[in-house]
Structures are given as structure tokens and as C-alpha cells.
A and B are shown apart, each in its own frame.
Chain A
């Protein structure tokens, strides 16, 4: 099984006529994703890669039964696009766009409190349930179907980790990039809750980074409410304070957000934290196949 998206997921691509939107529509179709519609206001009636284009998400829902959205809309219009998807009743909204003003995300979050969509991102690679569907921009071929769930704040770092898992013979149930911005739609905990209920996810890998307290919060949740094995990696142990390390959310400020604190919190919760990125795949494999070798399953 998998969480949030599978072969039944019907995707509408918002911003399908743009360069990125068109390119990744093709990539998603190649992977086997059911991209059933695209949206670019004013360009309804066209087709892109054989996919019908509509003027609104509501049209895509009404005409093609879209239930997931993948957003490639430029930053000034992306917040509006997320709210449009939520308003149209889309179940899973993936926002790839990087560079949305933080105060726009404040408005989006407030709007989503009264809507049922699950927002993944923004500033993220999306979500993939290997062998079933991918809604996002990650390279499909590095993934394998399997039983490890992956939740990450990063993009390419997730590819690195997934590639190592696959090489170590560990397939994935679902991999989710939750995004590198300070305000994102869903957190580690939101998806841990789903992995907890998914019988086919046997272990979870968390990929964190400096900034905020999402890892500390996840650690507390794992300690109290999560019984499957969890392994983690935290990027940015050598990052200087006060500098924004690429991701808008990756900054150590006001004494908060340091990697050491996150690692300490995760380890205190019984989570195996991998320090050597090059050995992550091996470590996960070893931990899962040799019980009692360091992984602590909280009672």
C-alpha cells in the first residue's frame, strides 16, 4: 500500500502550459501517473501532451474527476493556485513552486483550515508511491516499490537517500518532500500519522535540516505515538548561524534550529540518527534486517 496517492489518483497540473509544467507533465505521464487535466487560465481548450487544458481547477474536477493537483505556477500567483485547488475540493495538493512570500503562506494556511485538502509543499519535490504514481518532479527510476516510508524537507537530498535505499534493496511505500519553506502545508507528524496507519509501511526515514523545530516535534511524536522503526538524517551540522542555506526555512536564528539540538532530540526519542550520509542506505538496511542492532522500538 501507500499513503495519499496511488494508481487511482487523478492529477490536474496547474500551470501546465509553462516550461516546467509541460516538462514534468510528460515525465509524470511516462511514469504512469494519470495526469487527467491541466489548468492555465485563458488557455482552456488546448491540449498539452494529450492532456486537456481547462480554465479552472473546478472545471478539471467536474469534467475529468481530478482529485490531486500539482502546482507549477510562478511565485506571485502560487498562493492563489493553492487556494483554488482547495476550493475545488482537491484531496491532495502538491505545490512545487519555490519563492512564495511567507505572508502569502500565512494566508494560505489560514484558508486551508476550513478546507479538506492536504497541502504538500510549497518548495518541494512532491510525492511518489513507487510503481503506482508520482505527483511531482523527482526522478522516477531511482525508486522501487517497497515498505520504507520517506519524509523529507529537501529535494535532491531525498533523491540521494532514496537511491541509497533502492541500492540497498529497500523499496519505498511512499516518499514525500514536505518542502523547504518556513511555512509548509503538512509536517513530518502529519505524514507519520498516515504511515502509522499504513499496514505496508514497516519503517520510516526522516530527512531533516536546520531551521525551525519540525524535527524536535517529530521526535516527540515518535516517542509517544509511533511504534515502527524510524531512522533520521539531519543536514546542516556545519552551517553557520544567521545564514539562509538555500531553502528559505533553513536558517539557524535566535539560537533555534541547530542540527545538534535536532539530532539530540531524535536520539532521545529512540530514533537512529545517521551521521554519515554515504552510509545511510547501508545503515537502514542493517537496522531493519538485524533487529536489536541499535534501533529502539519505543513501547
Chain B
């Protein structure tokens, strides 16, 4: 789960990580008021959306007067923000953060993630703040410093020293102290909030030697939301695709993509592999949908409805390898969805595994029109023919073909 910058900064404050003073506003008028209340000039006006690269898309403006702050806020709020991460349609901006500007002496990078290899939290520190850390790591890997923190001991003062004493030239003693304190705070925030990512980029050293988290990016481990109730309540559903949001309510793993083949699969690995096979066959998947190992009939029905709600979908492929999820449960779920919603696109079904004969029998004795594929390659070829008829008629092109 992603947090907004303003949420992350409010939380950082409670872990003694210094952040600039700011106000969250929804209108230009309030931005004007906020700028008057905050120290400045300059002020910074920042779009609050879950997307990186906001600066590149014009979502971050530095202004010199409260009137300019109001104008900047209105222009950011007035249209969807397009960044390298949002796609061409952009993301609507509902709120902007107005902050006091700071005099920057140096921009650093500080983050914490869980390192898979050492199975421990690792702090990442770089003097190349304000840049994408991946680019720094690719170009000058020696400038990306890492410190693993053992769960048995937690953060120890030497962890911070190992990182800050590599700076050259070395900052003033007070600044060094503020940096290590910020690191200790970030570790505490990371662990206590069950973060999967806590990133400060840039972490700024001001001309007066203060240390400030000028940006804040925090992702919470979805698996930990059951014990992070307060954070879970800070989720902003308007940031998600409406179909993804709906799928989440039914515990379905659904990700919307750009193609026109709707796919319903059980299991994440098989769902990914099914997307790959669809693409290899020359078509594009409209979604990733993993109904899970042990989906109920209800979940199948909801999943199928979500696929049908996507207007881009021109054909649907169901690929189920029954394990815990039995094929008869799948069949009944699909039929229940078909009763509620007319299926207006061709449906290709590939069933295998537990109770496959019963599943096929249920589908075949219904009024549902569908095509049966005997394996995953045939399924992908059939579904591709449905959306690109130029590839010529094949056995799968007759909509009434219901071979067992």
C-alpha cells in the first residue's frame, strides 16, 4: 500500500525525522493562505498523487510569492498530471502540499528496504540525492552505500557511522549528528510501520546545516496491514484503478493492462505465464487476474464480472489448473456470472486438474457458448484468432464449436 507524501511526512515527524513545514490544500485560495502562514519565499507546491517523476510532469513548482503559489496550485489541480509513471492519460490531482522552501547546500539519498539476499532490512545512502537511485547505481555504484541491520540487534549507532563517515568532504559535527539521528528514526519508522519501502529523496542539508526530508515515499507491506490498522485506514482508494479497487474488495489479484484479451487464471505464476503465452501468440492481455489457489464460486463470479466490465476486452481466456480450486467450482462460478451479465465476447476455456470432467460437464450442459482448448498453447492461439481475424479461420473461429 502506498502512502501520499503528506501522509508519510506527518508519520516521519512522529519518528523524529525532520521535515519542512507544510499545509495540505485543495484550492488555490487555500494555497495562498498557506503560503502566507509558512516561511518564504520561496515556497514549494507539490501534487499529491501516487506516481514518481512528479517534477518532470510539472507537478512540483517552486514559487516566489503567495499569489504564485495560488496560481501553481490551481494549475496543478486543474488537470491530470502526466509523469513517466502515469501513462499518457495522467492522474487527477485532488490535493497539493504547500511547503516552506529551503536553501539547499547538499542533496543526499536515504532509503530502507528489506534485502532479499540477507533477509534483513538494509539502509541505502548516497551523496547523489535528487536522482533516481537506480541510475546512480548503474553509473557510479561506488556512490551507493549499504548497511544491513540485523533484526537481533536492531539499529546500532555504528550502522549510521558506517554510512555518514564515508561522505567527502565531511559535514560539520552537528550535521553528522542530525544525519545519523535521521537514519535511526527511519529505521524505527520502517520497522514499526511494517514498510516495504521508506525513501527520502532528497534528504537535504540546508545552508544553515539543518537536515530535512524534502520528499518522502513510504510503501506499507500489504501482508502486514492486518496489524497496521491506523496505516490501513490512510489508504486512498481514489488512486487505484476502479476495477482493481473492486477486485481488491473480493481478495482477487487483478491488475489492469492495455490489451484486449481478458484472462482468468488460478495462481500468480500460471497467470503471469498465461499472459506471456497470449503475447507470444500475437495478442495483448487486458489484465492479470489470479483468482487464487482456493477461490470460492463467489470469487470466480466476481472475477468474471470484473473482466466483463472492462470495455477493452474482446475475448476471454479462462485457464485453470485445478488444485485446491476444483474445476466444478470454477464452472459454477462462471455460469453464475453469465446469468447476471450477458457475455458479449468469445470465451475460450482450458480446464485441467481436480474435478476437470465434472467442470466440463457443468459448462457443456449449460446455455453458455464457449470454446474448449486442450492445452495452454491452443488456448492462446484460439483467443488470438478471435481478436485478429486476419490470421485466418481456424478450428477455434466457429463460435458454436463446443468440442469436449
Residues on A lying within 8 angstroms of B by beta carbon are 20, 23, 75-76, 98-107, 109-110, 125, 137-139, 142, 152-160, 163, 180, 182-183, 207, 209-210, 212-214, 233, 235-240, 242-250, 254-255, 275-279
Contact = CB atoms under 8 A, between A and B. Distances in A.
A212 B265 CA distance: 23
A268 B7 CA distance: 45
A142 B322 CA distance: 11
Interface of B: 85, 114, 116-117, 119-121, 133-134, 137-138, 150-152, 191, 194, 196, 221-224, 226-227, 253, 255, 257, 265-273, 275-280, 285, 288, 290, 293-294, 321-324, 352-354, 375-378, 380
Contacts of A152: 269
Contacts of A278: 277, 375-378, 380
Contacts of B85: 242
Nearest to A162: B321
Given A107-B151, A276-B280, A248 B223 contact: yes
Contacts of B116: 182-183, 212-214, 249
A210 B272 contact: yes
Contacts of B267: 154-157, 246
Chain A CB within 10 A, most for which of B273, B323, B376: B273
A139 B353 contact: yes
A195 to B, nearest CB: 20
A138 B196 CA distance: 30
Contacts of B138: 255
Contact of A157 (B273, B375, B378): B273
Given A76-B227, A155-B268, 20 more contacts: A20-B324, A76-B226, A98-B293, A102-B221, A153-B269, A154-B268, A156-B265, A157-B272, A158-B269, A163-B353, A182-B116, A214-B116, A236-B273, A238-B272, A240-B255, A240-B257, A246-B271, A276-B280, A277-B273, A278-B375
Nearest to B324: A137
Contacts of B255: 240, 243, 245
B293 A156 contact: yes
A234 B290 CA distance: 17
Contacts of A100: 223
A235 B269 contact: yes
Question: What secondary structure prevails in chain A residues at the interface with B?
Answer: loop
Contacts of B223: 75, 99-102, 248
Nearest to B196: A102
B323 A139 contact: yes
A246 to B, nearest CB: 3
11 contacts: A101-B194, A103-B191, A110-B152, A138-B323, A155-B293, A163-B353, A180-B268, A235-B270, A243-B288, A246-B268, A246-B271
Contacts of B119: 105-106, 109-110, 183
Contact of A277 (B114, B134, B288, B376): B376
A160 B151 contact: no
Contacts of A105: 119
A173 B241 CA distance: 44
Contacts of A139: 322-323, 353-354
Chain A to chain B: the 3 pairs with minimum beta-carbon distance, closest first: A154-B269, A246-B268, A278-B377
Contact of B269 (A103, A107, A207, A254): A207
Contact of A103 (B117, B134, B194, B324): B194
B269 A155 contact: yes
A116 B376 CA distance: 41
Contacts of B285: 238
Contacts of A138: 323
A236 to B, nearest CB: 4
A119 B253 CA distance: 26
B275 A239 contact: yes
Contacts of A156: 265-267, 269-270, 293, 321, 323
A197 B202 CA distance: 50
Contacts of B352: 160, 163
B152 A154 contact: no
Nearest to A181: B223
